[in-house]
Amino acid sequence: DELLKENWVKDATVRRIFPHTISVEVQERVPIARIHLADGEYLVDEDGFIFTKGREEFSSLPLVLGTFDKNDLSSVKKIVDEYIMFSNFFPKEIVFDTSTIRIKDMSGMLLTFDRENMENMRFVKNTFDYIKSKGISPKVIDLSYPQKAFLQF
């Protein structure tokens, strides 16, 4: 119980192995993003759990901003993983607005897509495949309209 009170501990199991051994297994929380709240910056794990104040060593993790809830935070890992797979860039910021999600990556590109339809990530993949096949590098990709991609260079 005491181990589970620690912010970085996700799960812990303590077993006694007769006669003189105690086995302790600890599963740590792994930060996947930073989140800015009213009283500072915090770290978020893959389950969307806000668990400790942010530290300088995690400044390269994506910063989550905007209007979000627990479900949005639990989708951040999927968003980051799929974005990296499609674009080959690591997200710098993920902004949840009322109707869209915006991702700004380390290259400076800005992607906007519909927040209500997370299945839209398939359209994001198709768009990135097209962009790569044409050898173009837009600065802005707006996919917030149904089945349309607006590119700005």
65 has a pLDDT exceeding 90? yes
The answer to whether the beta carbons of residues 147 and 120 sit under 8 Å apart is no
Tens of pLDDT, residue by residue over 4-52, are 889 999 999 999 999 999 999 999 999 999 998 889 999 999 999 999 9
Tens of pLDDT, residue by residue over 76-134, are 999 999 899 988 899 999 999 988 999 999 999 999 988 876 566 778 888 889 898 99
Q: What DSSP string describes 6-71?
A: STTEEEEEEEEETTTEEEEEEEE--EEEEEEETTEEEEEETTS-EEEE--GGGTTSPEEEES--HH
Single out the residue of 36, 34, 59, 31 nearest to residue 46, CA to CA.
31
